[in-house]
Amino acid sequence: MASKGIAVFPTILCLCILIWTGGCTGIGFGEVTYSEGKIGAVVDNPSEPVEATLQVTVFKTDNFKQIEVANFAEMVTFQTGQTTYTFPVDLEPGTYKLYLYITKGSTRTVSVIRDIRV
């Protein structure tokens, strides 16, 4: 009889984990581009609208150095689906690293680094 209780525990534990992590395949970044003096960052939100801070920091990379050239942060309501957010910045020809963050409250929920060439 005791073996049935032990076998049920892993099943219940797995179900609890699935319920707890449900919907965690959440918001994320898609393609990042630069065109006509603007950085375009695609954000994909597969769930309900979410209000959070979108931050983009741009670094020029040259000779193993990074020099910050721009930093943007704004409160955004991420609607369901894909949305492209644009940030005006004049970039000289070269290579850049873009640090992209989504922060909800004081918790950074998404962070990625993307390389672009202008």
43: amino acid identity, one letter = V
Q: Which CATH architecture has domain 25-117?
A: Sandwich (2.60)
pLDDT tens column, 28-81:
999 999 999 999 999 999 999 999 999 999 999 998 899 999 999 999 999 999
- The tens digit of pLDDT for each residue in 72-116 reads 999 999 999 999 999 999 999 999 999 999 998 877 789 999 999
What is the domain partition of the chain in residue ranges? 25-117
Query: Rounded to two decimals, what is the model's pTM?
Result: 0.74
